[in-house]
Structures are given as C-alpha cells and as structure tokens.
Structure 1
Amino acid sequence: MSNNTHNIASVLTESLPYIQKFQGKTIVIKYGGNAMVDEALKSSFARDIVLMKLVGMNPIVVHGGGPQIAKILEKIGKQSQFIDGMRVTDAETMDVVEMVLGGLVNKEIVNLIHQHGGHSIGLTGKDGSLISAKKLKHYIEPTSEIIDLGHVGEVDKIDTSVINLLLKGDFIPVIAPIGVGKDSFSYNINADLVAGAIAQALNAEKLILLTNTSGLLDANGELLTGLDTNIIDELIEDGTIHSGMLPKINCALSAVKNGVKSTHIIDGRAAHAVLLEVFTDSGVGTLITCNE
C-alpha cells in the first residue's frame, strides 16, 4: 500500500476514540470570518458538520455575517460606522442585518448542509423566543461615557426548547445571532457571545470558535494550547492576550467556567479545521479548559 493509504488509515484509526467519546454530545460552533466567504472553505465546513452529525454528535452552528452586511449596506449607499469594532446599528441598518443574517447567510449555510446530505433548519434568536436580548450599554474609557450603538444587544436569556426540539428531530440547527428585547425591538448580537451563551445553556461538550488566526499565539508567534483559566489570567496580565483577542478569550473563559467542558479557538482559513480539532490527538488550534 502507498504511504498516502497508510496515512488515511492512521487518521481514521486515530478518530475512533473521539467518535466514541463524543457520541451524543452537543458541540456549538461559531462560524465566521474567511470560512464564510471562500467557496471551498464553505463547502468543507458544511461537510464537516454533516460528518459530525452522521457519527452521532449534535453540532449546532451559530454564524456571523459582517462582510455580507457591509456589502449590502454599500449597495444601498448606507455608510457603516464602527465604535470599538462594533457596528452602529440604526433601524434601517437593523433591517439589513435581519435580511442578511436571518435570510441570505442563514439559508446559504442550510442549503450547503443539505447539499452534503445533512438535514438542517435555519432560525434566528427571535424564533421560539430562543434569544431574549437587551440593549448593549457600551462605555467609552476613560470617561465611562455611554455610547448609543442603536440596535446592538447582548444576551439576556437563552430558551433552549426550540433547539432541543430540533436535535430530537435529528436536525442541525443553524442560528443567526439576532434577539428580541422586552421592548419588542430586534437586536444584533456578537455571534461569539451568542454561541457561548447557547453552549452554556445546553451544558455543551465543546464550544468551537472559528477565527482568522491559527489560535492564540505567544510573543514568538507560536500556537498556545492546553490552557486553563489560571494560565489565561497570566497571559492577560503579561500582555500576551490583548486587544482584538480579548473578547474571544473572555467568551471562551465564560463558557468553561459555566459548564462547557472545553473551548477551542481554531483557524477557519484551514480546510476541515473543525474535524482536525475534534478528531485528532494534536488538534489545530487553542484548547481551553477550566481548572476549577
């Protein structure tokens, strides 16, 4: 047999204990970044999700869609404004967000999963009161001035009943991060935060965050993995974790401190990154667990 054949057999053998260990377990995947705009990566991601379902896992996809929203806003001549990386979302922009996230992007993911033999249902957090939201209060330092970002929200409560219903029906839920507040307004919520909140509410086995980096890197650009909450605190203190990676790390920490067994930050630019992280010994990203 060729070396390639041996390699394939080795990978399949290596995956067996992980398939056995995670059968019946819930895995929440935040899907975004380059993985959502590159055609080959979109296809490989959908195949990964279908395979996970076929071997007995319960994958749940929570997706973003910033580039797609920006594209539509540009087409209608609407200028995007950002404060600390967050899109200021007036009523007109929120209409576009709902159309893009709840319609175009969500249905494309569902269709890709169907093309690869899976059964999926797309929904937003407004369906079945899945995501109760509240308006995000954003403070500008050092003055602590509150900036009005419009229809930008945060998770207030997750009602998992509609997700559990879909999982019992053997469907793969694909969720757009839009919630509704007690004020009846729709709110656009960061997809990482929604994925983390859903993972916590379901006591998920894993939360996987796809990014446009290979994971958490040290000062020399080397990938860090096998981290616990104490090590993360040290990395924040010494400045290794800073700026744009901080919100993602805080999301990961919150998840593992509130019932999720592990969080993984992986490179969505690599084909089949989800499978490689879940089914191989070495993985491809940063693994974070709770030491408590």
Structure 2
Amino acid sequence: MERAIEKAKILMDAMPYIKEYRGRKVLIKFGGKAMQDQKIEQSIANDIAMMLYVGLSPVVVHGGGPDISARMKEKGLQPQFIDGLRVTNKKTLKVVKEVLVDKINKEIAGNINIHGKLAEGISGDTSGLIEAEKMEIEGGDLGFVGNVKKINKSVVEKIVKAGKIPVIASIGKGINGDSYNINADSVASELAAALGCEKIIFLTNVDGVHASYGDNDSLISALTYDQCKELVEKKAVSGGMLPKVLSCMSALEKGVHRAHILSGVIDHALLLEIFTDEGIGTMITN
C-alpha cells in the first residue's frame, strides 16, 4: 500500500507541470549516443509517448552523424569534414538518406508506436517541410550541405492536429530540387521557432553545460541568454556543445520560451526535466 501511495504522490507532484504545459508544443532534438543504444533509445521513446498521453504535443527532430560515418566506412567511403561539417557528395548524400530516413527515422517512430499509433516519420525534403539553400563556406565546397531557408510549418501542424508525434529527418530540399544534408541542431532551432514551441530540448551525451570543461561537478543548472552569450564569447563552451548552445540561443531569440540541454543516457531524462522541480540538465531562458 505504501508503494502505491508513493506512486500517487509522484503523479500529484507532476500535476502543476502537466497543467502548465498541456496543449503546448515541445521540440526534442534526439541524437548522439542515445541513438546507438537500443535500451536508451526505447526509454526516450517511452518518455515521448508519455508526454503525448498527458497532453503535451512533442515534436522530434533527429540527426545521425555517427551512424552515417559507420555506414560510409562499411561502403568503403571515407568521411571528410571541413570545420566540423560533413562533406556531402552524391554518394555520401545517398548514405545520409539511407541512414536518416530508412533506418533512424523508422526506428524512432517504431519505438514510440509500441505504445499505439502515435508517431509519423517524415523527411524534411520529401514532405515539403524544409526549404534549403546550399551552405557556402570559405576554404572548400561542402557539396550537398545546406542551411534552412524556410520552414513550411503546416506540414508538422497537420500531424500535431491529428494527435500524432512528428518524427523528422534533418534533410531539406533546394529550389533546384536537390536534397541537402542539414545540421539537425539548426533544423531543431528553426522548427521550434516556426511552431512557437514552449520548449526546445537537446538530448546529448553529457549532462548539460559545465562551468569548467571536463569537470563533471561543475554542471550549470540554469543560465540566462546573456550568460550563455558570455560563455560563448569567452570560449568556455566548445566542441559539440557549442552548436547546441548557439541553437538554444537562436531559438530563444525567435520566441521559444525555454531551452534545455540534458543527457539522453539518463533513464527517463525527459520526464525528470519537464515534470520535476529539480530537473537534471541545463535550462536556458531569456
């Protein structure tokens, strides 16, 4: 009986958050190690399904960098990068589509759909969601790598209105009809802003932003936009965390209320961050 009472208390403790976010859109960017561990991937899918069932409207964006590199090596293709961006020729783009659309997108949607017909997987190019333009950089040609030019939000809104969870592969289509590989963090930020999301959540391999790089005890639980800007200017944020922090800042600039960075490898990370007082990662606000 005591155990049952404790479970009921946990539900009651979550009620203020359920009430606050009911009917609100929350964008979840899913990637990294979380997509390479089946147990973790399923745990996150369970959380996303739970979010829908308690009245939130989750939207999922995913990348798949490690899986793309692994598949390329299997095919005898050597991954190449310029300033951390994957050089994407026609052969590489074919692999990108195979991994993002045919593998990862179906896996995420399938894991959510264990709980009912809840998720609908789409690719940003073939669905008409993401209009892209070629990314131009100094020092080389990235090939079929793009930036988000326009988000046609009605594509996602139609799925949300039907009571389903959109699961989106981060590929866009250019005006010339070519598909472009787009950084999933950038897609997540642009889409969250276009949809007017209450929150954007980045699931990563680390537990959030740290005051001191490499010091696991220096997690910063809350930051303002200005504090983030200061950390970036001081180069206190680097590596794979930098694009996530910049994407959080961009989303806040465009009207998203809160941005979160947290570890996707912690069991029920999403539920802990959204529905508890303590949270587990870094929350960034204006």
Asked if TM exceeds 0.5, the reply is: yes
TM-score (norm 2): 0.94
Q: 1:74 to 1:190 in 2, by over 3 A?
A: same
Q: Does 1:56 align with 2:49?
A: no
Q: Does 1:262 align with 2:279?
A: no
Distance in 2 between residues matched to 1:85 and 1:272, nearest whole Å: 30
| Cα drift, residue 277 of structure 1 | 0.6
Match for residue 210 of structure 2 among 208, 212, 217: 217
Cα RMSD after superposing both structures: 1.5
Match for residue 151 of structure 2 among 145, 155, 158: 158
CA contact (8 A) 1:89 1:151 kept: yes
The equivalent of 1:285 in structure 2 is 281
- Which ranges of structure 2 fall in alignment gaps of 5 or more residues? none
- Which ranges of structure 1 fall in alignment gaps of 5 or more residues? 140-144
The equivalent of 1:124 in structure 2 is 123
Distance in 2 between residues matched to 1:200 and 1:257, nearest whole Å: 9
The equivalent of 2:161 in structure 1 is 168
| Cα drift, residue 184 of structure 1 | 1.4
The equivalent of 1:142 in structure 2 is none
The equivalent of 2:186 in structure 1 is 193
| Cα drift, residue 9 of structure 1 | 3.8
| Cα drift, residue 288 of structure 1 | 0.5
CA-to-aligned-CA distance 1:63-104 (integer Å, 9 cap, x gap): 111122122212211111122222111001101111111111
SS at 1:138 equivalent? coil
CA-to-aligned-CA distance 1:204-256 (integer Å, 9 cap, x gap): 00000011110000125411122111111222233322343221111100101
The equivalent of 2:225 in structure 1 is 229
Q: Bigger shift: 21-30 or 124-133? A: 124-133
Q: Bigger shift: 198-207 or 71-80? A: 71-80
The equivalent of 1:47 in structure 2 is 46
Q: Bigger shift: 54-63 or 82-91? A: 82-91
The equivalent of 1:81 in structure 2 is 80
CA contact (8 A) 2:221 2:280 kept: no
| Cα drift, residue 118 of structure 1 | 4.5
| Cα drift, residue 7 of structure 1 | 5.0
SS at 2:122 equivalent? strand
CA-to-aligned-CA distance 1:164-203 (integer Å, 9 cap, x gap): 1111111110000000011211100011110111000011
SS at 1:210 equivalent? strand
Distance in 2 between residues matched to 1:252 and 1:60, nearest whole Å: 16
Q: Does 1:96 align with 2:95?
A: yes
The equivalent of 1:204 in structure 2 is 197
Distance in 2 between residues matched to 1:164 and 1:213, nearest whole Å: 31
Distance in 1 between residues matched to 2:60 and 2:82, nearest whole Å: 27
Q: 1:243 to 1:11 in 2, by over 3 A?
A: same
Letter in 2 for 1:262: R
Identity in percent:
45
Distance in 1 between residues matched to 2:117 and 2:18, nearest whole Å: 18
Distance in 2 between residues matched to 1:108 and 1:245, nearest whole Å: 25
Letter in 1 for 2:282: T
Q: Does 1:17 align with 2:16?
A: yes
Distance in 2 between residues matched to 1:203 and 1:94, nearest whole Å: 31
The equivalent of 1:240 in structure 2 is 236
The equivalent of 2:173 in structure 1 is 180
CA contact (8 A) 1:73 1:96 kept: yes
Distance in 2 between residues matched to 1:111 and 1:246, nearest whole Å: 31
Structure 1's consecutive aligned runs of 4 or more residues displaced over 3 angstroms after TM superposition are 4-10
SS at 2:226 equivalent? helix
CA contact (8 A) 1:50 1:118 kept: no
The alignment of Structure 1 onto Structure 2 pairs a total of residues equal to: 283
| Cα drift, residue 6 of structure 1 | 5.9
SS at 1:128 equivalent? coil
| Cα drift, residue 42 of structure 1 | 1.0
TM-score (norm 1): 0.93
CA contact (8 A) 1:106 1:122 kept: yes
Letter in 2 for 1:21: E
CA-to-aligned-CA distance 1:84-128 (integer Å, 9 cap, x gap): 222111001101111111111111111111112351111011133
